[in-house]
Amino acid sequence: MVLMSDSLKAIAGEALRSGLARLTGKPLKAMLAGMGATAAVQSSTATTMATIGFVSAGLLTFQNAIGVIIGANIGSTSTGWIVTLLGMKFSISSLAMPIIGIGAIMKLLCKDRAALAGLTMAGFGLIFVGIDFLQQAMAGLATQVDLSAFASPGIGAQLLLILIGLVMTIVLQASSAALATTLAALSSGAIDFSQAMALVIGQNIGTTATALLAAVGGTANAKRTALVHLLFNLGSALLAFVILQPLFLWGVHVWGMRHDGVNTALALAAFHTTFSVLGAAVFLPQTQGLARLVSRMIKEHAPPGLRMLDNTLLSVPALAIAAAEKTISLGLADTCHLLAQRLQGQPLASNKSGISLDKLLHAVDSYITKLPAPQSAADQQRLMHLLLLLDQTRVLRDDLAGISHADTLREQPALWALASRLPPTLEQTAMWLTDDSVVVQEEVSEELRQITEWVHEHQSQARRNVVEGAVNEHITPATALEQLTAQRWLERLSKHITRIAQSLGEARALFKE
């Protein structure tokens, strides 16, 4: 199961990331995306972890993530149907070995996606070889292990079975593997239908363990997403235990009497899907309220500028790089606001990132040093653009040391003629940096480029005017030098901001591909 799941995740990794990242805000659409992603990679844990990563990186809103989590739980029920309809109804274990062989040959002889497809085939074949072994081993288990204590209709016995199912998922690190084991035990008669349902309920709760562990030490949004996962699974389990389990027991009994027996494995797969769908029907309309509740339960303490630097993202370079880029964007937006306000002589407002650009750069530097070397060409390109952006941002940070020159530019009419176009464009740039849907990046870059050219074309005349003023004793030599320095600072500033806008636009385009 792990071999097949990991291979599918590698094949569909970019599609999974780009698909989830483009969710627009409708809970139903988010749920369908979660269902599709989980069914594709056969791992609700993979979808949940990707979702936590997207929320931490700021690529997915917390409220949208709730819909994806709900959909992932429904998508995970596809495993039960695959195992039941193929592994139990038809004896395909004899075909499994050739499938494994073909997959192994493809892995050895092919490259890239074809090699991963071979691993997927091998994993698919191994699933059914494993199921065949489990059925054979479970066949004699009923005579060796006394499960009569768990056959009691009492709540205590049922709760103990739920606990066993939970532990099974944690130990196996895969609810799909735990479900396949339960189906094999049910088909062989080692456990009855009531016991199997209790185990499945526990296994569904157990899927939250990986996300909860991953969220420890993560950002507040990562913890919130993991908590929503736990609350949804607990709520679904409660509905299944109180409502669906008695209903399915009655239905299986009646069906068996009328049709001379019942396929309990198929009934168990239907039970698994039904209680996930029931949970979705209850929770999906309440995503806004659930998001508010969980946000109140888990408070945000980190400065806004550092909230996306989540260590849990480091295992997925594309997400970690996106988080670092968004963090830098926040710092740059604050810097653009600061420069625009100082140039116009306005009172300086508090920055939105809650941290200075210097400290923010230090935090990003520390974060990316922990990033493992990207393996894909796309991630390598993204990292290269991130490093260039970091270098250019450091240059801009050094420019801030001369921000007092803004007063000189504003106070001298001849110099203000050079600088007057910059503040409105800086405000526009700040808006684009925090939300690239506000204005097209090309428009911002073009305006900055034109300003840079304007400053470069007219600075020679402005410098001559300053020097002539000093010669004619209209201004002192010290004032002349101060004004010349302010001109050079303005030229550097406009040039550096233009380069940053171009680099950031290229970096964002890479991530959207």
Q: In this structure, are residues 413 and 466 in contact, taking their beta carbons and an 8 Å threshold?
A: no
Q: In this structure, are residues 93 and 129 in contact, taking their beta carbons and an 8 Å threshold?
A: yes
What is the CB neighbour count within 10 angstroms for residue 205?
20
Q: In this structure, are residues 21 and 61 in contact, taking their beta carbons and an 8 Å threshold?
A: no
| CATH domain 311-512 topology | Methane Monooxygenase Hydroxylase; Chain G, domain 1 (1.20.58)
Task: Report pLDDT for 24.
Answer: 45
User: Is the C-alpha dihedral spanning 185, 187, 188, 194 positive or negative?
Assistant: positive
Per DSSP, the three-state class of 507 is helix
Burial of 379 (0-12, 13-18, 19+ CB in 10 A): buried
Return the residue matching tokens 């599609």: 15
Residue 77 to residue 84: CA distance in whole angstroms: 11
Give span(s): CATH 1.20.58, the chain: 311-512
Nearest residue to 322 via CA among 331, 313, 312, 333: 313
Nearest residue to 100 via CA among 120, 79, 116, 80: 120
Return the residue matching tokens 């899907």: 273
Residue 277 to residue 512: CA distance in whole angstroms: 32
- Annotate 99-132 with b (16+ C-beta within 10 A) or e (fewer): bbeebeebbeeeeeeebbbbbbbbbbbbbbbbbb
> Could you tell me how many helices (H) and strands (E) the chain has, helices first?
24, 0
The CA distances from residue 266 to 168, 183, 195, 262, 298, in Å, are 21, 9, 15, 9, 40
Task: Report pLDDT for 41.
Answer: 61
Amino acid at 412: Q
Residue 206 to residue 104: CA distance in whole angstroms: 32
Q: What are phi and psi of 487, to 5 degrees?
A: -65, -45
Q: Which two tokens stand for residue 285?
A: 């309309």
Give the list of residues 6+ apart from residue 131 with CB closer than 8 angstroms, or none.
83, 87, 88, 93, 180, 183, 184
Per DSSP, the three-state class of 195 is helix
Q: In this structure, are residues 150 and 187 in contact, taking their beta carbons and an 8 Å threshold?
A: no
H helices present in 110-219, as ranges:
112-139, 141-144, 155-172, 175-188, 193-206, 208-215
Q: In this structure, are residues 118 and 106 in contact, taking their beta carbons and an 8 Å threshold?
A: yes
Per-residue pLDDT of the chain (513 residues; tens, 9 = 90+): 445 445 544 544 445 555 555 554 577 888 888 888 777 666 677 677 777 767 776 667 788 888 888 888 888 888 777 777 765 444 555 666 787 788 888 878 877 667 767 776 777 677 666 656 655 554 454 445 444 455 556 687 888 888 988 888 877 666 777 777 788 778 777 788 888 899 899 988 888 887 787 777 667 777 888 899 899 999 999 999 989 888 988 888 787 767 666 778 888 888 988 988 999 999 888 888 888 888 888 876 666 667 778 776 777 777 788 888 888 888 888 888 888 888 888 776 666 666 788 888 888 888 888 888 877 777 788 889 889 989 998 988 888 888 888 888 888 777 787 778 888 888 888 888 877 554 556 677 777 777 777 777 766 666 677 676 666 667 777 877 888 888 888 888 888 888 888 888 777 776 665
C-alpha angle 448-449-454 in degrees, rounded to nearest 5: 95
DSSP assignment of 385-439 equals HHHHHHHHHHHHHHHGGGTTHHHHHHHSHHHHHHHTTHHHHHHHHHHHHH-TTSS
Residue 76 to residue 68: CA distance in whole angstroms: 12
Give the list of residues 6+ apart from residue 28 with CB closer than 8 angstroms, or none.
67, 284
DSSP 374: P
**Number of residues that make up the chain:** 513
DSSP 218: S
H helices present in 240-316, as ranges:
245-259, 264-283, 287-297
Per DSSP, the three-state class of 141 is helix
Return the residue matching tokens 């819909």: 67
Residue 7 to residue 318: CA distance in whole angstroms: 18
